Chain A
Amino acid sequence: MHIPDGYLSPQTYLPLYGGFAVIAAVAVAKLKRTVDTRLVPYVGMAAAFSFLIMMFNIPIPGGTTGHAVGGGIIAILFGPWVAFVALSIALIIQALVFGDGGITAIGANCFNMGFVMPLVAWYVYRIIAGTNASTRRQMIAVFVAAWLSLNVAALFTAVELGIQPLVAAGPDGNPLYAPYPLKITIPAMMGEHLLLFGIVEGLVSVLIFRYFAKYHPDIIAARHK
């Protein structure tokens, strides 16, 4: 889901950079104002976790690869703003140091995986788990939230890629950037994320959640207020 350089036209990546900058300003203000400074170490832990989990490429035999992101479970445990900052740190380092995701696409990738994903997971989890759920119901909520949030992020990515032939074509009608239309990008991205990578994201998230439920119930309780 890390869009490389060369795939997005400036008319796509510049607005996404703008959106990312606005969200980043809001996130920093929110964290400074409302969040306990004790939460800051969790940003580092969460960023490191997400960075590592994204290195575990999962193969589709004979096909492509993908990976979990961790943006859902981080949002469920520490809130969407901590998740946004953590994911953005991980994604920016991946782009600048390891060439994983383009530098022109940092805004897009941070928007998709750092903002959309945590926000979706946060709301889906709260809707399903409510304020007073049984552990079983919480687990189901975590799985669905993680699975769905990865898929919504994948859908945003697919749409950003798939509109390129529409927004940036040369005089000969050929796309200047990513050449795949929406009818190719959406089925390709969604099929693999709905059926495989999303399931892995859900399972990993439930495992992490179980650990916190057992050893750090205070953190989960704080989220249920």
Chain B
Amino acid sequence: MEKKYWIFLAILAILTPVGIFLPQWFNAGDAWGEWGVDVVKQQVGYEPAQMKKTADIYHAPVPDYNFFDEEAPLAKQAIAYIVSAFLGIGIILLLTFGLQKISKPKNDSPVSSTTQ
């Protein structure tokens, strides 16, 4: 089952750009409540005093699953999106592999530990 499942995930990863094309075609923006501070300012007429400070607290290495410019052509963004998908899966695999190592009991069978 495992091999088939990872193939399924790889296909999903290749299809992820659908998630940037569809919003583009239907002229849809960010998720509700996930806007940048400038958009919030436009909406309510002022910049909440602590918002900007906290919003800039951390800069992710691959912001918005895109390592090109925000204004890069859609095709480039799509490639970045796919690479991000595989990067995400890769990190998850590494992490869970580590988790597996930690959670595995050192002596699987009590018999072998007593006979040695």
B111 within 8 A of A: no
B62 within 8 A of A: yes
Please give me the residue from chain A that is nearest to B101 by CB atom. Answer: A40
CB pair A98–B64 under 8 Å, yes or no, is: yes
Interface size class, chain A: 35 or more
B69 within 8 A of A: no
CB pair B33–A178 under 8 Å, yes or no, is: yes
Within 8 A of B (CB), among A1-24: 1-7, 9
**In the complex, how many angstroms separate the beta carbon of A115 from the nearest chain B beta carbon?**
18
CB pair B33–A52 under 8 Å, yes or no, is: no
CA gap between A2 and B50 in the complex, in Å: 19
Please give me the residue from chain A that is nearest to B12 by CB atom. Answer: A52
Q: What residues of chain A lie closer than 8 Å to B26, measured between beta carbons?
A: 59-62
CB pair B60–A63 under 8 Å, yes or no, is: no
A216 within 8 A of B: yes
A47 within 8 A of B: yes
Q: What residues of chain B lie closer than 8 Å to A61, measured between beta carbons?
A: 26-28
CB pair B51–A6 under 8 Å, yes or no, is: yes
CA gap between A97 and B44 in the complex, in Å: 30
Q: Which one of B48, B59, B60 lies within 8 Å of A179 (CB-CB)?
A: B48
Segment of A100-108, A123-131, A139-147 engaged in the interface with chain B: A100-108
CB pair B18–A56 under 8 Å, yes or no, is: yes
Q: Which one of B1, B18, B30 lies within 8 Å of A65 (CB-CB)?
A: B30
Please give me the residue from chain A that is nearest to B104 by CB atom. Answer: A37
Q: Which one of B5, B44, B56 lies within 8 Å of A45 (CB-CB)?
A: B5
Interface size on B, residues (CB 8 A): 63
CB pair B99–A178 under 8 Å, yes or no, is: no
Within 8 A of B (CB), among A109-161: 157, 161
Within 8 A of B (CB), among A165-210: 168, 170, 174-180, 185, 188-189, 192
**In the complex, how many angstroms separate the beta carbon of B108 from the nearest chain A beta carbon?**
9
Q: What residues of chain A lie closer than 8 Å to B64, measured between beta carbons?
A: 98-100
Within 8 A of A (CB), among B75-116: 81, 84-85, 87-89, 91-93, 95-97, 99-100, 103-105
Please give me the residue from chain A that is nearest to B46 by CB atom. Answer: A174
Q: What residues of chain A lie closer than 8 Å to B40, measured between beta carbons?
A: 179
**In the complex, how many angstroms separate the beta carbon of A151 from the nearest chain B beta carbon?**
14
Given A52-B85, A93-B91, are A58 and B22 neighbors across the interface (CB < 8 Å)?
yes
Q: What residues of chain B lie closer than 8 Å to A170, measured between beta carbons?
A: 49
**Sample of 4 further A-B pairs with CB below 8 A, known A55-B19, A97-B87, A98-B64:** A57-B31, A176-B49, A188-B33, A189-B33
What are 19 A-B contacts defined by CB distance under 8 Å? A1-B31, A5-B55, A6-B56, A41-B96, A44-B97, A48-B88, A55-B19, A55-B85, A56-B15, A57-B23, A64-B31, A89-B95, A89-B96, A104-B57, A170-B49, A176-B48, A176-B51, A177-B54, A192-B32
Closest 8 CB pairs of A and B: A99-B60, A6-B55, A59-B28, A44-B96, A59-B26, A56-B19, A99-B63, A176-B50
